[in-house]
């Protein structure tokens, strides 16, 4: 659906909720632009999924090691191509993501990570060193 087709000037006389849709689009855009708001929204979605009984801890997902990711130490980002869609850098995480990992029941940490281009989820296992991540 094109945004122009929802504009109030183009929908005069129609009894639809286009102004509500435009409001939702504006709100979504402002959240995506602000990294702090985006992080809060992502946390909200994760909590909502947990309450609905969805598994967000990585059980049953294909497992990868952080060593399989390419590290950009200047930016503090680890990335790899998505195993499904092969989008370069589709799987990406940062230091904040690593700090939020959960213990894996052994000696390391893990987190569930979604491709930025498709719907694939994987489990990433890693170990926290003194101040660096390694496996």
Cβ neighbour number for residue 78 with a 10 Å cutoff: 24
Query: What are 20-49's pLDDT values in tens digits?
Result: 777 888 888 888 888 898 888 888 877 766
> What are the pLDDT tens digits along the chain (135 aa)?
566 666 666 666 555 566 677 788 888 888 888 889 888 888 887 776 655 545 555 567 889 999 999 999 999 999 999 998 999 989 999 988 888 887 766 678 888 898 988 878 898 999 876 444 443
**What is residue 7's predicted lDDT score, i.e. its pLDDT?**
64
Task: Specify the pLDDT at position 46.
Answer: 73
Q: Do the bridges between strand 70-72 and strand 109-114 make them parallel or antiparallel, or are there none, so unpaired? A: unpaired
Positive or negative torsion for Cα 49, 116, 24, 11: negative
Strand 121-128 relative to strand 109-114, pairing: antiparallel
DSSP-derived secondary structure letter, 80: E
Q: Find the radius of gyration of the CA atoms of the chain.
A: 19
pLDDT at res. 78: 95
Domains and CATH numbers, the chain: 3-51 (no CATH), 63-134 (3.10.660)
């Amino acid at each position: 659906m094109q945004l122009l087709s929802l504009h109030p000037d183009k929908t005069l006389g129609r009894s639809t909720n286009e102004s509500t849709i435009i409001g939702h689009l504006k709100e979504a855009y402002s959240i995506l632009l602000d990294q702090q708001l985006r992080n809060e929204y992502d946390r909200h979605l994760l909590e909502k999924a947990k309450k609905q009984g969805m598994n967000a801890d990585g059980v049953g997902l294909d497992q990868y090691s952080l060593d399989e990711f390419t590290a950009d130490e200047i930016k503090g980002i680890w990335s790899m191509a998505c195993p499904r869609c092969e989008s370069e850098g589709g799987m990406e995480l940062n230091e904040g993501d690593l700090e939020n990992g959960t213990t894996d029941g052994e000696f390391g940490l893990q987190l569930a990570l979604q491709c930025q281009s498709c719907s694939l989820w994987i489990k990433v296992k890693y170990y926290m060193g003194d101040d660096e991540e390694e496996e």
